[in-house]
Amino acid sequence: MKMAIQMLKRIVTQNVDPRYDRYLGILEQEWNREFTLIKNLLKLQKLEGTNPNLRPQPINLISMIEALSQKFTEKWEQEKNLSVQMDYDSSLVASNGFILATDGGSLNSILEELLLNAGKFSEVGQQVTIKLDRPTRMGKKHINLSIMNYGFGITPEEEDLIFEKFHRGQGVTDRAIPGTGLGLALVKILVEHLHGSIGVVSEIHPDYPPLAKITFNLCLPDLA
């Protein structure tokens, strides 16, 4: 299907009627949505009710987040004028404080989906902040990671539902933001497989209502 759309695009470039280009754009967008839906459904089916085959290894969180931030900027800077800022204690970098033993593939998928979510739901010209901290709980090392963006808020009722399959908030449907309602459900399952926890908090921006600061808080243990 994807190849057929690309072939049609080449044909359309020879046609002066702009309607054809617009129709093909809609067709490609719908194909991408359906493909993502099927892919995520298959992932969920595989993950649900199974014992994960984790491969813990030392992951440099700063390097991983910097690479994902670069991809984020390439996608969203021109489209919505969004920027990314990292917030962490630089003294911990020298002591390898942000090296976490965990499954790198799962962690990368979690962060990539959360950044995609932040991009989709941020208002134009806003900043996305990624904050890192490394506390010790009951003698065990953990990573606290928060991803904050500014957009239209999430109601307290929806905060409890946002990680459920196919749930899409009222504001999302009202504003016709594309999505499958599966991305955050996948994130939650992956986080649980890494023995972590995740939650979301939405607070009205004091200076620019109705904008809100939306923060996804992620806590992951060292699996070494």
Q: For 42-67, what is the HEC assignment?
A: HHHHHHCCCCCCCCEEEEEHHHHHHH
pTM of the model: 0.77
Q: What is the mean pLDDT for each group of 10 consecutive residues in the chain (224 residues)?
A: 53 58 63 62 68 86 95 90 93 85 92 92 93 78 94 83 72 52 85 94 81 94 88
**Beta strands, E only, the chain:** 56-60, 83-87, 99-103, 127-133, 136-137, 140-152, 197-204, 211-221
Which pLDDT score, from 0 to 100, does residue 171 have? 55
Which pLDDT score, from 0 to 100, does residue 208 have? 73
Burial 59-93 (b: 16+ CB within 10 A, else e): bebbebbeebbeebeeebeeeeebebeeebeeeee
Which pLDDT score, from 0 to 100, does residue 176 have? 44
Which pLDDT score, from 0 to 100, does residue 132 have? 96
Which pLDDT score, from 0 to 100, does residue 17 have? 62
The answer to whether the beta carbons of residues 24 and 32 sit under 8 Å apart is no
Phi and psi, residue 142, nearest 5°:
-135, 160
Question: Could you tell me the two tokens for 198?
Answer: 């995740």
Which pLDDT score, from 0 to 100, does residue 5 have? 45
Mention every residue, 6+ apart, whose C-beta is less than 8 A from residue 108.
64, 68
The answer to whether the beta carbons of residues 65 and 86 sit under 8 Å apart is yes
Which pLDDT score, from 0 to 100, does residue 6 have? 57
